[in-house]
Homo-oligomer: A and B are copies of this chain.
Amino acid sequence: MTRQLFELAGSDPARVFSPYCWRTRMALAHKGLDFKTVPWRFMQKDAIKSHASEKVPVLVDGETSVNDSWTIANYLEDKYPQRPSLFGGEGGRAMARMLNNWSDVSVGQISPFIIADIHAQLDSGDQEYFRRTREKNFGKKLEDVVRGREDRIDGLRKWLHPLRMTLRAQPYLGGTAPNYADYIVFGPFQWARVTSPFELLTPDDVIYAWREKLLDAFGGMARQSPAVAA
């Protein structure tokens, strides 16, 4: 059976960077499921139209197409119940949805620190679209959005406090070992890491140490992804 994951990529097709695609990528690795990555760009709507989606991730699992990272995680948990659990039971599955929504807010919190750097990593065909749509949302130029980020980073670090408090008390959001709760929250950090030289965390932060462990997970899958050196 072939398994394909359509993932948002930059000008370097190996630079898959979407926070949502990273959730799925980590979930597949957690389940021990091989997949072939299909680099996708914003301008390639037609490539996923047959899978009834306008966005990635899209997972094509044999004859089944699934889109949306949350839907994919639930699909994987139900389709492959004998493999390591993503949620650690039904309580975890339910609570992970709230973590998913909290983490989606984190995407919006992180975006103003990296959005201009993301643009620089995009395929030239995507850059005009990305700039136009994002500048419309922010109401200013991407370069102006990120300006002064050094002075604003403490606000983001403070906003992350619930995550920090949790990781001071237990190794992973999923408990003693990582599960989908961790991949949900890791996605936005990896998104920033592979697109921007701007460091969101300080090395003495327990969130930093947790991120390091997830970078090393699955044979260093996330660490080996192209990143932008600071």
Contact = CB atoms under 8 A, between A and B. Distances in A.
Nearest to A105: B162
Contacts of A102: 102, 162
A170 B96 CA distance: 12
Interface residues of A, number: 31
Interface of A: 85, 87-99, 101-102, 104-105, 161-163, 165-166, 169-170, 172-175, 179, 181
B162 A101 contact: yes
B92 A94 contact: yes
How many monomers of this protein are in the complex? Answer: 2
- Interface of A, secondary structure class, is helix
Contacts of A88: 89-92, 94-95
A7 to B, nearest CB: 24
Given A92-B94, A101-B162, 7 more contacts: A88-B92, A94-B174, A95-B181, A97-B170, A101-B163, A104-B165, A105-B162
